[in-house]
Amino acid sequence: MTALFRLIGVGGVIAYRALFNWTTPAMFIGSLLVGPIFQLLFFAYLGRQLGVADDRFYIVGNAVLAASLSCVFGGTMAVANERRFGTLGHVLLSPRSRTAVFLGRVLPYAGNGLLIAVSTLTVGSLLLGLRVPPPALPGLLLTLAVGSLACGFFGLTLGALGLRFRDVWVISNVSVALLLLLTGVNVPAAGLPGWMRAVGEVLPITHAARAARSLAAGDGLTAALPDLTAELAVGAGYALLAAVLLKVFEAESRRRASLDTL
């Protein structure tokens, strides 16, 4: 058990340092910390102009959405960059469980996403004057963590496709755009067609955004618990799907001798 936790913890951190592509701290801050704040301000002022929703809707929604960028692309890089850098074969030859190796890699990206979400929520609240009830803060932090973890497993699922498809980055970019559109973070779900709402229900951060808004409004953890549980279920579903796809595509890639084909 100790070896398993070491494999997940230490292995995940090492893989994060090796595979997550940002070259300088300035690039990390600019793209992952500052960028989401400008996105939040854009949608908040657009929402004011159009009278769609209040500032709380956009501040909380964009804080949850901010975690998706690093989590989705990080989860994708956890697999795809092994193939890109020519080290995938070494990982697959390891006697250790590849499922534990890859699922453990999601944790640093989820932590990264939580940092970005908290930063976006804090700065957005200060700039736009949102007051969050202090008793709601622990539940809000838990909700952001669950949303980040679900996004990380969603990204790992996309990364698993990198064992079969050559250009998984197109899929990742489209998926991030779908999270922006279909999860209700910036477009109220009530205004979407039925089929879009149905798709949004099985995407990460949809339920986390609802739970976070409920907590920020002072409704308490009990009111947010159903959405929080649904977000956990979505994350667990993507974790299971990622594990299955990694097994299937690994076997298929070995059979077709395509592990290192770019």
Model-level pTM? Answer: 0.89
Mean pLDDT of 134-157: 93
C-alpha 9/C-alpha 3 separation (Å) is 10
Domain assignment present for 262: no
Region 26-35: mean pLDDT is: 85
CA 258/CA 29 separation, integer angstroms: 36
pLDDT at 225: 94
Total count of domains within the chain: 1
Q: Domain range spanning residue 85?
A: 1-256
| Mean pLDDT calculated for residue range 214-243 | 93
User: What is the structure's pLDDT at 125?
Assistant: 93
Q: Is residue 61 part of a domain?
A: yes
CB 144 within 8 A of CB 116: no
Quick one: pLDDT at residue 261? 54
Q: What is the pLDDT of residue 38?
A: 93
> Is 261 part of any domain?
no
Under DSSP, the state recorded for 257 is T
74-115 pLDDT, tens digit per residue, is 888 888 777 777 777 777 777 777 777 788 888 888 888 999
Q: Whose CA is closest to 57, among 212, 242, 249, 222?
A: 212
Could you give the residue ranges of the DSSP H alpha helices within the chain?
Answer: 2-19, 25-28, 35-50, 55-84, 88-92, 98-104, 106-128, 137-160, 168-182, 194-201, 206-216, 221-256
Scan for tokens 């809000």, then name that residue.
140
pLDDT in tens, 170-211: 888 889 999 999 999 998 888 889 999 999 999 999 999 999
Q: What are the φ/ψ torsions at residue 7 (nearest 5 degrees)? A: -60, -45
When pLDDT is averaged across residues 12-21 and rounded to a whole number, the result is 73
